[in-house]
Structure 1
Amino acid sequence: MLPIPIRDRVAKWLLAACLVGLLAVSGSANAEVTLVRLQTDDGNVYRGELIRQTAEVVVLNVEGIDASFDQEDIAVFEILESPEQLYQRRRAELAKDDLAGRLALAREMRDLDALRWAKLELMSLDRDFPEHPVVRDELAIVEAHQRLAQTRADDADNPRRDLPRRPERRGEVEGDEFLSSRQINLIKVYEVDLSTEPRIVISDETLDSFFQKYSDNRLVPTGRRDRGAFKRLDGHEQLDLMFRVQARDLYDQVDVRQEPTPLARFRRTVNPQYVARYFAPTFGHGEIPGLSLFNKRPEDEAEAYTNFYRLTQFRYEGTPMIDRANPKLSLMLQWGLARESARFPAPDIPGWKPAFSSTDDTEYQRYVDWIDSLFKEDLDYGITPALSDELE
């Protein structure tokens, strides 16, 4: 639907009255969520679920927060497709054998928190492409999101939810050994795929610093009007320019609110099913000097991202644990193969056993595919110190 410019006070009132009536009629037929894109007179754009609309005010739920807007301050009001409508329309455009397109649709539904439709498409994909590792991983991620949503709903219904809770212990691990939330977000910044148009927020203060520090770069807007237009862009578009200018000193001020898919796969699948169950207890508890991994709460963000960071930074005798250019040569997988079939056999560790039957093992191929989904070049996240046995 095309956005409707609203400039005249009377026109706004009439449009609001019509929409109130329209929504009342449609609401009686079904309980579908109405999604809205709203732009205020000062140029700010908001997207969210329409909670209430009268001739004087519009209330949207924007990322979990109810925000109220005066009708006289609204420049553009656009009713968007519901997740179900969007799913049905996009799905009708895709062929049954279009794996990439259907996966993209499922991920889009997941990003919109339309988990029902994401799972529906992934279950259909699982039937059409049996045992496909990417489909299975995506399905596991969606199901994990559903469990989390249910847990939050249960907590909301719990009258004791506001009572203080006993701090959770992490076994023998001290909290300051984990990456901080800021460092975790920085990893997300470096690993984000802008082509997926992820949800990213960059404050005006950070953008002002960007304009000032990089004003000599011809790509950076200079005039007041151009800078104002740049501030109205989506966050992923703003970050794209920051990447091109290589404004690394500002990356830690970028807020990534949508977990990059490869990192979500690591946290939900690779870390709990392989690293925590096999690799950490076999190699990461002092068996390899300088390599320390955790496996107490493998889906915990701090624990999972710390393992991910340490695995990406660690080299053993010059060979990386995670080889982005040659995933099959990654030591974290090579050491899970029988020594006679490995290019880099596992070190001599008491009690060691292979994790994979061969390189044709479904689980082995799944983790190869995961590494292959990462950026091909090693990334310096700007987190120190780097971990390596060569630093010992």
Structure 2
Amino acid sequence: MPRSLRATTFALWIGACLLAGWAGVGVAPRGAIATDETSPPAENAEVARPEVILILKGGQRITGTLISQDDTTIVLRVGAVDVRVPREDVEHLNVQRPARERYRELRSLIDDADSERLLQLAEWLRERGLYDEAMEEIAHVLSIEPDNPEALRLRLLINRLIALRERTANDDAREPRERAVPRRAPVETDFPLLSEEQINLIKVYELDLSNPPRIIIPRATVERFLERYSEHPLVPTTREGRTAFHRKPAAEILDVMFRVRARDLYADIRVIGNPASIDRFRDAVSRGWLATACASTACHGGDAAGSFRLYARRPHSDEGVYTNFLIIDRHRMSGDVPLINYEQPALSPLLQMGLPRDDSAYPHPNVRGWRPAFRNAQDRRFRQTVDWIESLYKPRPEHPIDYTPPGPSVRPAEGPVER
């Protein structure tokens, strides 16, 4: 079905929900538009401007974000354009309930296997700037349809929008050069983040060679490999054999390097993009629940996080994703218990501590403000996290990265290293 037709179908479905009386609230009575309920929120970054529907006296409807209103004019933002509507032309102003609240109700009406409608919902979320929720739905669709072109397109688009929003936020946060007042240090200036080289090395170790992103192995690196490991039976020694080896796809060359355990050369390999398991961690785990339920500044992303602290300022950036991934992979609780149980993922403390305490094998400490991240072990986010753990390369490698997380030190994971 063409994208425009799908969007129209979904809009009609949402319209039916509106008529059912649950998607919109605050309908102003005829002739009584200016009410406290429809006034823009106070200047507070955490309070979103309301979405409204203007019904004009001629019957036309305009949906947008309420920017401002006074005795003569109502200003709506429709897409990227501010539309000024004379108040005398407006018959009703309907204030919608918060988008997240409507999202939860819309989501409850869609079956987990209905990928088409889930992607339409993701587009609806994108239009309202709810990128994390949209990425969660996209990750779910890709977990059941890994090659879904619409899901891949939306994921790429939203990742670009997130990067643009983060760059804009950083630009807005910068102070003018000529200002003499010393700049205030960001909250997480001292949080150690992985370097590009360290991130790339994790990519190499986490690759699924049956479905790899683009891999670049310099010719000089292949030459060194052939020279250093010439005595290994998998390494060709004849001129013809070496010429043929150079012509192999990068994934096939890397497969041989893995089998030979040429770890001294892994740092020379460049991975463009992310391994599938890391994309799943970012989309289904970090965006799905970890960043909001666990890595917030009020929890394990703040100064009072104790021995387990995650990067909270830009958790979905490459630095944030890979740093938090390594911290989670290496962290040990008391009794030397790892956060992730790779043999029985559902029993991982990382997941169990997100369940209601009465249902958990590892109940979360009773701290102020804590709420379960999952309703139960059948919760979609819980299942997606189990799927992510199962998708990781096994046996688990010990990443040769010198990294000390904030807080008390933790010991790297032990176990067989096959790469």
Higher Rg? 2
Post-superposition Cα deviations, 1:101-156, rounded to whole Å, max 9, x if no partner, equal: xxxxxxxxxxxxxxxxxxxx9638979xxx89742566765413024568999xxx
Deviation at 1:315, TM superposition (A): 1.2
1:319 to 332, 337, 345: 337
Identify the match of residue 209 of structure 1 among 221, 224, 237: 224
* Aligned counterpart for 1:257 among listed residues 272, 286, 291: 272
Q: Distance in 2 between matches of 1:197 and 1:270?
A: 21
Q: Who is 2:307 aligned against?
A: 290
What's the offset of the Cα at 1:176?
7.3
Matched, 1:334 2:352: yes
Say which SS state the counterpart of residue 295 (structure 2) adopts. Answer: helix
The answer to whether the 8 A contact 2:284-2:384 is kept is no
Pairing 1:144–2:155 present: yes
* AA in 2 matched with 1:313: R
Cα–Cα, structure 1 residues 342 and 286, in superposed 2: closer, same or farther, change >3 Å?
farther
The secondary structure found in structure 2 opposite 1:256 is strand
Q: How far off is 1:204 after superposition?
A: 1.0
The 5-angstrom pairing of residues 1-392 of structure 1 reads 123=116, 134-135=140-141, 142-148=153-159, 171-174=186-189, 177-281=192-296, 282-317=299-334, 318-385=336-403, 390=410
Q: Partner of 2:100 in structure 1?
A: none
- The answer on whether the counterparts of 2:119 and 2:151 sit within 8 Å (CA) in structure 1 is no
Q: Secondary structure at the match of 1:179?
A: coil
> Counterpart amino acid of 1:366?
Q
214-223 vs 290-299, greater mean Cα deviation: 290-299
Residue 80 of structure 1 corresponds to which residue in structure 2?
none
Give 1:285's aligned amino acid: G
Distance 2:163 2:303 in 1: 37
Amino acid at match of 2:308: L
Taking only aligned residues, the RMSD between alpha carbons, in angstroms, comes to 3.7
- Write the distance in 2 (CA, Å) between the matches of 1:170 and 1:325: 42
- Measure the CA separation in 1 of the matches of 2:308 and 2:221: 36
User: Which amino acid counterpart does residue 290 of structure 2 have in structure 1?
Assistant: V
Q: CA deviation at 1:357?
A: 1.4
Distance 1:331 1:152 in 2: 31
Indicate conservation of the 8 Å contact 1:126/1:136, yes or no: no
| SS, match of residue 244 in structure 2 | helix
- 1:347 is displaced (CA, Å) by 2.4
**Quick one: distance in 1 between partners of 2:118 and 2:286?**
24
**Alpha-carbon spacing, 1:187–1:379, altered in 2? closer, same or farther (3 Å):** same
Q: CA deviation at 1:327?
A: 1.1
Partner of residue 13, structure 2: none
CA contact (8 A) 1:313 1:320 kept: yes
Question: Where do 5+ consecutive residues of structure 1 fail to align?
Answer: 1-120, 154-164
Q: Which residue of 2 aligns with 1:93?
A: none
CA gap of 1:286–1:172, structure 2 versus 1, over 3 A, is closer
Q: Give 1 or 2: higher helix fraction.
A: 1
Could you tell me which amino acid in structure 2 is paired with residue 275 of structure 1?
Answer: L
Question: Cα distance 1:141–1:364, how it changes in 2: closer, same or farther (>3 A)?
Answer: farther
Aligned partners of 1:141 and 1:264 also within 8 Å: no
C-alpha distance in 1, partners of 2:364/2:223?
51
Contact 1:331 1:344 in 2 (8 A): yes
Secondary structure class of the residue paired with 2:287: helix
Q: Deviations over 1:209-244 (max 9, x none)?
A: 111221121111112221121111110000000000
Unaligned 5+ segments in structure 2 are: 1-113, 121-136, 165-174, 178-183, 413-419
Contact 2:138 2:151 in 1 (8 A): no
Q: Following the alignment from structure 2 to structure 1, what is the Cα–Cα distance between the partners of residues 344 and 249?
A: 34
TM-score (norm 1): 0.58
